Structure 1
Amino acid sequence: MVQRKYLFPNVIELNLQSSQSFGVNLYLIDGGTEWALIDVGQDDTLGEVIELIRKLDFPLSKCKMLIATHADADHVQALAAARDRLKAKTGAHPRAAVALEAGDTVQTFARITAQNIDMPMPPCKIDVKLTEGDEIKVGKLKLKVWHTPGHTPGQLSFRLGNLLFSGDNIYKDGCVGAIDAHHGSHLPSFISSLTRIRDDDAEFLLPSHGPVFRKDPAILQNAIDRLTKYQHMADFGTCTVSWPLEEEWKRDILAGKMPEL
């Protein structure tokens, strides 16, 4: 048996536990009589993850749920295999479930042809569709489900006491999850999700990438301000709300106005 390294009471982060990187943060929620896992990572590390959980003396048969923060391949490529090996239920937002059950390689970023990224994305049945306000009971604990869209339509966060498992919403350096049309990213929703996180009284944020950190409203406000500008920048293509320069140009064309050079 390996000695457990609790990051917070009832929470083990498996990268920190094993002193190795599994690609994304994997949070084991210890409810005493049963446990759950927030994100499972990729196929090539699943065997190591399961073996680590076994060495930590968590009975594999007591896995309450395999929870997907969202449908990105780096977080959930191994979800189908984990469901099969652990005989556990899977949980995800209905919007994420569509991509996961279809094995959609584009929306999950399993395939990005322009960057020579092409990994399998095995379809996975989602047993429990998780929506805003739901509670996931894990032994003596309850995870409160938040729907925090923006990065993806099906991005979820989870509140446990003074902790918020915040997915790809915000990282310690103020960066946010990728903004991309293929993801279904939506900037106004992203801003609303970040505002909600900023205004909530959770003390610590546990993101899906990078270190856990004490919530700093200034970091969140900086991201909100940045994304507010992104809404009107051509850099973000069809994710933008408007592009003032293009609108002005069309008005000038219709008015027969020549450019001022």
Structure 2
Amino acid sequence: MLTRKPIFPGIIELNFQAGEVLGCNVYLIYDCDEWLLIDIGYEDTVEDFVEIIRQLDFPLSQCKTLVATHADVDHIQGLAKLKQILKTTVTAHPNAVKPLESGDTLVTLAEIEAQNLKLEMPPVTIEHQVNDGDVIKVGGIELEVWHTPGHTDSQLAFRVGDVLLSGDNIYRDGCIGAIDAHHGSDIKAFVGSLERIRDSDVHWLAPSHGPMFRNDKAFMNKTIDRVRGYLEMADFGTLAERWPLMDQWDDEVASGTLPEGLQLPS
């Protein structure tokens, strides 16, 4: 048997527990014998995680549900396999239901033709849907559900006391979850979700990738300012609200203005 190494009371991160990174962060929330998992990662590491859970002496029959933070393949490809092993249910945001139940390879980013990426996306039935303000109970522990859209339209975070299991919203280096129209990204919504996290009184952020870190306003503001800037940049194409450079170009074309030092030939 393994000695449990909770990162916070009632919360074990299975990569940290294993002493090696097997995939995305997988959080096991427990009280007494009842427990649930938040995310699972790829299908080929499911059995590794199940063995860790066995070695931690959690009864497999006591898994309350499997929770998907959102419908990206690197978080949920293994859901169908794990559900079958544990004989339990799956919980997700309503916006994640269709891509998960249909095994949609485009929305889940399992298939990116331009990068020659083609992964299987096994469909899985979602028994429980949760949204902002809902509470998931595990024994005496309560997980407050936050809907934090931006990275995807189904992105969830979960508050437990002064800890936020913060999904792909932000990482310790200030990076954020990928912005891509195919899986429902929304830059303005992303800014709102980051502001909500910044303005909350949670002390610790436990993301879906990488190490835990403090919720620091100056740090959060640096990322928020950068992401807000994407609303007026061409970097993310149709996800931007406007591109001020094009307004300037309209004016310069209308007035016949060239850059300083460049003159029309006579």
TM-score (norm 2): 0.94
Mapped pair 1:26 → 2:26: yes
Deviations 1:89-144 (A, max 9, x none): 11111111121111111111111111121110011111111101100011111100
SS in structure 2 opposite 1:153?
coil
Q: Distance in 1 between matches of 2:210 and 2:185?
A: 21
Deviations 1:194-244 (A, max 9, x none): 000000000110000110112111111111100111110001111111111
* Alignment partner, residue 87 of structure 1: 87
- The alpha carbon displacement at 1:251 in A equals 5.7
Mapped pair 1:10 → 2:28: no
* Alignment partner, residue 243 of structure 1: 243
* Alignment partner, residue 197 of structure 2: 197
- The alpha carbon displacement at 1:247 in A equals 3.3
Matches within 5 A, 1:121-160: 121-160=121-160
* Alignment partner, residue 64 of structure 1: 64
Q: Distance in 1 between matches of 2:116 and 2:47?
A: 26
Matches within 5 A, 1:157-196: 157-196=157-196
Unaligned runs of 5+ residues in structure 2 are 260-266
Deviations 1:131-181 (A, max 9, x none): 011000111111000000000000000000111000000101111000111
Matches within 5 A, 1:80-119: 80-119=80-119
Between 243-252 and 210-219, the greater mean CA deviation after superposition: 243-252
Q: Distance in 1 between matches of 2:16 and 2:238?
A: 38
Matches within 5 A, 1:208-227: 208-227=208-227
Unaligned runs of 5+ residues in structure 1 are none
* Alignment partner, residue 50 of structure 1: 50
Deviations 1:42-90 (A, max 9, x none): 1100011111101110000100110011011000000111111111111
SS in structure 2 opposite 1:123?
coil
Q: Distance in 1 between matches of 2:130 and 2:31?
A: 19
Q: CA RMSD in A?
A: 1.2
- The alpha carbon displacement at 1:260 in A equals 2.2
Give the % identical residues: 53
Q: Distance in 2 between matches of 1:92 and 1:191?
A: 22
1:76 maps to a residue whose letter is I
Bigger Cα Rg: 2
Q: Distance in 1 between matches of 2:146 and 2:98?
A: 18
2:70 maps to a residue whose letter is H
SS in structure 1 opposite 2:98?
helix
1:28 maps to a residue whose letter is L
1:146 maps to a residue whose letter is W
- The alpha carbon displacement at 1:252 in A equals 5.9
SS in structure 2 opposite 1:144?
strand
2:129 maps to a residue whose letter is K
Q: Distance in 1 between matches of 2:46 and 2:83?
A: 11
